[in-house]
Copies of this chain bind each other. A is one copy, B any other.
Amino acid sequence: MGLVVQKYGGSSVADAEGIKRVAKRIVEAKKNGNQVVVVVSAMGDTTDELIDLAEQVSPMPAGREFDMLLTAGERISMALLAMAIKNLGHEAQSFTGSQAGVITDSVHNKARIIDVTPGRIRDSLDKGNIAIVAGFQGVSQDKKDITTLGRGGSDTTAVALAAALDAEVCEIYTDVDGVFTADPRVVKKAKKIDWISFEDMLELAASGSKVLLHRCVEYARRYNIPIHVRSSFSGLQGTWVSSEPIEQGDKKVEQAIISGVAHDTSEAKITVVGVPDKPGEAAAIFRTIADAEINIDMVVQNVSAAATGLTDISFTLPKTEGRRAIDALEKNRPGIGFDSLRYDDQIGKISLVGAGMKTNPGVTASFFEALSDAGVNIELISTSEIRISVVTRADDVPEAVRAVHSAFGLDSDTDEAVVYGGTGR
């Protein structure tokens, strides 16, 4: 008998009907002879409504109390889900993050899981129950306070439990049929990917694909837990994310040369103008940024103009950190030494991801040709072994994504992508 961990997002349990639909699906998995652990997010917009209430009573909600507040959301959805399952004649028990043994550090609002001790879950499964676990939450190791894991935290809860329970698979149910070769809202002919390696999925997640977050995939890779991303609405086979290609029927899914195209318009570009071209300058700039606890993405240093001995350094970072980065650099201007700062938040990033790049030297050239043919100007370039990313004008992004998707033969014959829920996760 196998053990399956299933995770359902907020759009799958947005109302009583959704909860009953999900309950049926869970019971099916149980009837198929599996032990079933279910991780569930808060219903629909519950979390946003709680945040709104918090802002009404306090402009700066505090960490510990904010976490206490938000965790009420999963408490509601998990209890209702357990009731709906019992109503179908199966035994179910719900567990908070703390009861499920999700132990975290003490960083409120974005805690990290440091251990999972699922003794109560194991006991409940052994008694024949379906175990329902609140996603997104844990308890801090030192203070025993309730913590939350930050955005996408329920996926991480699911993968972490799957690892601790040695599950066969972690099924992530969402409102799309799986991971696509591009964002279906931008590329109508995007194809569902049957299988993708952890490595390619990590690059897609880092490049703006939102189906799975980077942290969750990283966790799954470390413990080698296969993830199956699929729709809670359609019941179709979705996308498998694992270390080795899966068997589907009698054929083995092959490693694709190119997994997909991702894009990201959530970043901004800062250019530090007129930096003396001498050792230690770049270090001074990025030490300043790092001290402000801001993560940067791409970095480019221009060739210095021989006449002046000055150069420009550009880097990209989340738009939400733009203000703080500018402030930090201005404050340290005397120490760093530069002429001026330019801030540009009208940029977009397009990334091509695929392990096949390593052995197909023509990929980079084809990528630039496709962009050029589409009349898209490139502002920055960055590459890894299995990814090429470029920064363009934000307005050019949709056209650029479609052009690259088509040039690499990723278009399907039909418009197959469907988004079911639509309330987000």
A interface vs B, CB < 8 Å? 16, 19-20, 23, 50, 53-54, 56-62, 64-66, 68-69, 71-73, 75-76, 78-84, 86-87, 92-94, 99, 144
Candidates B20, B58, B71, B84; contact of A75 at CB < 8 Å: B71
Residues of B within 8 A of A82 (CB): 62, 65, 68
Q: Are B68 and A84 in contact (CB under 8 A)?
A: no
B87 touching A53, Cβ below 8 Å: no
Question: Would you call A65 and B83 a contact (CB within 8 A)?
Answer: yes
Taking A50-B76, A79-B69, A94-B68 as contacts, is the C-beta distance between A16 and B56 under 8 angstroms? yes
Write the chain B residue with the least CB distance to A81. Answer: B57
Distance A61 CA – B80 CA, assembled complex (angstroms): 9
Closest 4 CB pairs of A and B: A69-B79, A16-B56, A58-B87, A68-B79
Chain B residues positioned under 8 Å from A75 (CB to CB): 68-69, 71-72, 75
Closest to A75 in B: B72
> Could you say which residues of chain B place their CB within 8 Å of the CB of A64?
93-94
Q: How far is the CA of A54 from the CA of B68 in the complex (A)?
A: 22
What are 12 pairs between A and B in contact, CB < 8 Å?
A: A16-B53, A16-B57, A23-B57, A53-B76, A54-B80, A54-B83, A57-B83, A57-B87, A66-B83, A68-B79, A68-B82, A69-B76
A62 touches which of B54, B72, B86 (Cβ 8 Å): B86
Name which of A23, A64, A144 has the most chain B CB atoms within 10 A of its CB.
A64
| Sample of 15 further A-B pairs with CB below 8 A, known A58-B87, A62-B86 | A23-B57, A54-B79, A58-B86, A60-B87, A61-B83, A64-B93, A65-B80, A65-B94, A66-B79, A68-B94, A69-B79, A72-B75, A72-B76, A72-B79, A75-B75
User: What chain B residues lie within 8 Å of A61 (beta carbons)?
Assistant: 83
Name which of A23, A53, A58 has the most chain B CB atoms within 10 A of its CB.
A58
CB distance from A63 to the nearest CB of B (A): 10
Q: Please measure, in the bound complex, the distance between the C-alpha atom of A40 and the C-alpha atom of B224, giving whole angstroms.
A: 45
What is the distance, in angstroms, from A322's C-beta to the closest C-beta of chain B?
27
In the complex, how many angstroms separate the beta carbon of A39 from the nearest chain B beta carbon?
15
How far does the alpha carbon of A143 sit from the alpha carbon of B75 in the complex, in Å?
18
- Judge whether A80 and B84 touch: CB under 8 Å: no
Whether the Cβ atoms of A62 and B76 lie closer than 8 Å is: no
> Which residues of chain B are within 8 angstroms of A73 by Cβ–Cβ distance?
72
Nearest Cβ on chain B to A40's Cβ, whole angstroms:
12
- Closest partner residue, chain B, to A99 (CB atom): B144
Q: Which one of B62, B71, B79, B80 contacts A83 once the chains associate, using CB atoms below 8 Å? A: B62
Q: How far is the CA of A82 from the CA of B64 in the complex (A)?
A: 10
User: In the complex, what residues of B have CB within 8 A of residue A20's CB?
Assistant: 57
Q: Is the CB of A78 within 8 A of B83?
A: no
Specify which chain B residues have a CB less than 8 angstroms from the CB of A65 in the assembled complex.
79-80, 82-83, 86, 92-94
Chain B residues lying within 8 Å of A71, measured Cβ to Cβ, are 75
CB proximity of A17 to chain B, nearest CB, Å: 8
By a CB distance below 8 angstroms, the chain B residues around A16 are 53, 56-57
Please indicate the chain B residues that have their CB under 8 angstroms from the CB of A144 in the complex. Answer: 99
Q: Using Cβ atoms and an 8 Å threshold, which residues of chain B touch A57?
A: 16, 19-20, 23, 80-81, 83-84, 87
- Interface pair B72/A53, CB less than 8 Å apart: no
Chain B nearest CB, measured from A251 CB (Å): 41
Give the CA-CA distance A66 to B71 in the complex, in Å.
17
CB closest residue in chain B, given A70 = B79
Bound-state CA distance A80–B82 (Å) is 27
Residue of B nearest to A52 (CB): B16
> A53 and B80: CB pair below 8 A?
yes
C-alpha gap A50/B72 in the complex (Å): 12
CB nearest neighbor in B for A43: B53
Of A65, A75, A86, A92, the most chain B CB neighbours within 10 A belong to A65
Whole-angstrom distance from the CB of A8 to the nearest CB of chain B?
Answer: 14
Q: How far is the CA of A75 from the CA of B99 in the complex (A)?
A: 16
**Bound complex: CA A75 to CA B146 (Å):** 11
CB distance from A62 to the nearest CB of B (A): 5
